[in-house]
Structure 1
Amino acid sequence: MSKQVVVVGGGVIGLLTAFNLAAKVGQVVVCDQGEVGRESSWAGGGIVSPLYPWRYSPAVTALAHWSQDYYPQLGERLFASTGVDPEVHTTGLYWLDLDDEAEALAWAEREQRPLSAVDITVAYDAVPVLGPGFKRAIYMAGVANVRNPRLVKSLKAALLALPNVTLRENCQITGFVQQGGRVTGVQTAEGVLAADEVVLSAGAWSGDLLRTLGLELPVEPVKGQMILFKCAEDFLPSMVLAKGRYAIPRRDGHILVGSTLEHAGYDKTPTEDALESLKASAVELLPGLEGATVVGHWAGLRPGSPEGIPYIGPVPGHEGLWLNCGHYRNGLVLAPASCQLFSDLLTGAEPIIDPAPYAPATRLG
């Protein structure tokens, strides 16, 4: 295919969409209003699993399972080609004192995932720094986390090395260009950028951009705040999650604790209230963090969507326009499968999974 494809949005979804398409189309241009990958892709924790996978629909589960299985080889491939290691770090994950433990275990049996109840003493033996008072635990082996800022850097380096890919950072898209009912490009501050196909992967901003065509896409910004500690490299051997808050160990001893869930429009200002709340959760989970220095505190905007199901596929009535957006809390989790499915659809290949649940045609108002 000798088409020119313009991808609007340079987060992990947009970058990986471009990476998958580059071998199959003529030219790919990625436009981002800022620096690529600096919004929710940079801000998230990078757990390669939905926080509570049993609470999601089969549509999210299908993407999550494919992505979880694929992530290690994606990390290796990017590291080998760029020298930037995304650090796909397999630690497993303990959930503590869940209200819906029975549902979690039933889901694991139904989906044949390696999640099981363990005696609480097993959790304390495995994670000696865990706080006191927890009564029950379930554990899923094989759950990894990816160091999302490094994943972004690795994807960017991989794309910059490809002769048919162009990255246009600080490129504000104000709307779409149409001719005869077909979308034929995007309007930028520097003028029109023509395209055979346009992909909207603009995260929390996707709904605003689609509204310029008179279409309502129920994707809205949902703020999340995180904090980062620095500890010894062996301080936390596994990810842990309790009362809606999680702690994620990086290989070098950094510990991420998150996150808040706030509807505050496009405001990304970190707040003192959230900092104190996250610190309290951190110390309750891991008392050894008491007095530890917070080396980072930031906020990002998730692309909130109904049931967290992304929109993947062509936009009806607007030939040439495609969506790959609305991943809510699971953009990093679902990215490999979402972007492979998207590439399959755009190029006419056999889709890796049934695309029907994500189709804009049945879900746009």
Structure 2
Amino acid sequence: MAKQQQVVIVGGGVIGLLTAFNLATQGQAVVLLERAGVGQESSWAGGGIVSPLYPWRYSPAVTALAHWSQDFYPQLAERLFATTGVDPQVHTTGLYWLDLDDEPEALAWAVREGRPLSKVDISVAHDAVPVLGGGYSQAIFMANVANVRNPRLVKSLKAALLALPGVTIREQCVVTGFAVDNGRVAGVDTAQGPILGDQVVLAAGAWSGDLLGTLGLSLPVEPVKGQMILYKCDSNFLSSMVLAKGRYAIPRRDGHILIGSTLEHEGFDKTPTETALESLKASAVELIPALAHAEVVGHWAGLRPGSPEGIPYIGPVPGFKGLWLNCGHYRNGLVLAPASCQLFADLLLGNKPIIDPAPYAPEGRINAG
């Protein structure tokens, strides 16, 4: 067991929560700071597909984290459910991709990576998903893809954390900068005064770039707005996730159907728009015509932490001892969280890392502002 240190974590999304959980279960004292309520930003707003939308389009760095996480999610969910009584609902439905432009690349990737993705006749997709729209001619299917009910995952993680010794969660606590002492980051400044620690972890999603900017460092993480809509149908209405033309439908166990999502560069504006609502509804009806008669029961926007190639920053910040990053997961924060947070804990505690940490190292990827 590593020597106990006080670790201050800035950001209470799924990355911050799971980082805190991994460190606290290894005997570290953790103070988690969240500017609003935990898990209310990107972690709450996303769809929760436990796979990148197009996994073959990513670099090996993202793939390595994704594979480890996908294989780990079911046991993480079981552990959290057993500990807290809150089920994150990891729901394995498989995923159909329809009319892909780069289908050959997808199939070649699956062979190379040993993932269970294969071409199926479009009639097979219609048999499996009877509500699917008729305008498609080709399909590929990956059987073991799950989705996690992200608001429940966040609730479960929070409950698990609060049950552990040495954990403090402070919500409505806005971090304004870092306390630096002789080149070492000794804590953070907040509206309620300084909070000191042995190590400080920046896991603030889309806000991470702005915060690191207070140290004169330029981190290319910026908010990318995404809007979603939610329908309520019968619990067996949609049997599998489907994805076409960049839009997807995700069934929850209770019949809620999520349709997403837009990609908009609007700064920190999270206002849902009528334009996006109409666009998402049109995509929904194209994918699943019966949704034309279903009620939209929710419409919201979130801010993804956009980063170059979607490769997160995981590891120590050069030139500022005591400061660490676990941020910049772009569209795949929920997908990559288990691996990212395990790798992060390995690095901070000096354990053998689960995968090669080099591609995620902040060193060489952030610049003086």
TM-score by length of 2: 0.98
Q: Secondary structure at the match of 2:218?
A: coil
Q: Secondary structure at the match of 1:35?
A: coil
Q: Secondary structure at the match of 1:360?
A: coil
Contact 2:12 2:34 in 1 (8 A): yes
> Where do residues 63-82 of structure 1 align in structure 2 (5 Å cutoff)?
63-82=65-84
Which position in structure 2 is the counterpart of 1:274?
276
Q: Secondary structure at the match of 2:169?
A: strand
Which position in structure 2 is the counterpart of 1:325?
327
Give the Cα separation in 1 of the matches to 2:79 and 2:28.
22
Shift of 1:2: 1.6
Task: Specify the code of the residue in structure 2 equivalent to 1:358.
Answer: Y
Which position in structure 2 is the counterpart of 1:157?
159
Any gaps of 5 or more consecutive residues in structure 2?
none
Which position in structure 1 is the counterpart of 2:360?
358
Give the Cα separation in 2 of the matches to 1:25 and 1:314.
20
Deviations 1:19-72 (A, max 9, x none): 000022431000000000000000000000000000000000000000000000
Q: 1:168 aligns with which of 162, 166, 170?
A: 170
Shift of 1:162: 1.0
Which position in structure 2 is the counterpart of 1:130?
132
Deviations 1:272-302 (A, max 9, x none): 0000000000000000101211000000000
Deviations 1:229-263 (A, max 9, x none): 00000000000000000000000000000000000
Any gaps of 5 or more consecutive residues in structure 1?
none
Give the Cα separation in 1 of the matches to 2:346 and 2:123.
46
Matched-pair identity in %: 79
Give the Cα separation in 2 of the matches to 1:271 and 1:237.
29
Query: Deviation above 4 Å: which 4+ runs of structure 1?
Result: none
Task: Specify the code of the residue in structure 1 equivalent to 2:302.
Answer: G
Q: 1:265 aligns with which of 267, 273, 276?
A: 267
Give the Cα separation in 2 of the matches to 1:101 and 1:253.
30
Give the Cα separation in 2 of the matches to 1:149 and 1:283.
25
Which position in structure 1 is the counterpart of 2:91?
89
Which position in structure 2 is the counterpart of 1:211?
213
Contact 1:302 1:328 in 2 (8 A): yes
Superposition RMSD on alpha carbons, in Å?
0.5
Shift of 1:133: 1.9
Deviations 1:202-222 (A, max 9, x none): 000000000000000000000
Q: 2:255 aligns with which of 253, 256, 280?
A: 253
Which position in structure 2 is the counterpart of 1:33?
35
Task: Specify the code of the residue in structure 2 equivalent to 1:148.
Answer: N
Deviations 1:306-340 (A, max 9, x none): 00000000000000000000000000000000000
TM-score by length of 1: 1.00
Task: Specify the code of the residue in structure 1 equivalent to 2:285.
Answer: V
Task: Specify the code of the residue in structure 2 equivalent to 1:119.
Answer: D
Task: Specify the code of the residue in structure 2 equivalent to 1:54.
Answer: W
Aligned residues: 365
Q: 1:115 aligns with which of 102, 114, 117?
A: 117
Give the Cα separation in 2 of the matches to 1:133 and 1:219.
38
Q: 2:204 aligns with which of 186, 202, 205?
A: 202
Task: Specify the code of the residue in structure 2 equivalent to 1:109.
Answer: V
Task: Specify the code of the residue in structure 2 equivalent to 1:10.
Answer: G
Which position in structure 2 is the counterpart of 1:335?
337
Task: Specify the code of the residue in structure 1 equivalent to 2:354.
Answer: I
Task: Specify the code of the residue in structure 2 equivalent to 1:48.
Answer: V
Q: Does 1:284 align with 2:286?
A: yes
Give the Cα separation in 1 of the matches to 2:298 and 2:259.
10
Contact 2:9 2:33 in 1 (8 A): yes
Q: Secondary structure at the match of 2:363?
A: helix
Q: Secondary structure at the match of 1:302?
A: strand
Task: Specify the code of the residue in structure 1 equivalent to 2:21.
Answer: F
Say which is worse superposed, 35-44 or 25-34, in terms of deviation: 25-34
Contact 2:176 2:211 in 1 (8 A): yes
Which position in structure 1 is the counterpart of 2:314?
312
Which position in structure 1 is the counterpart of 2:24?
22
Q: Secondary structure at the match of 2:9?
A: strand
Q: Secondary structure at the match of 2:65?
A: helix
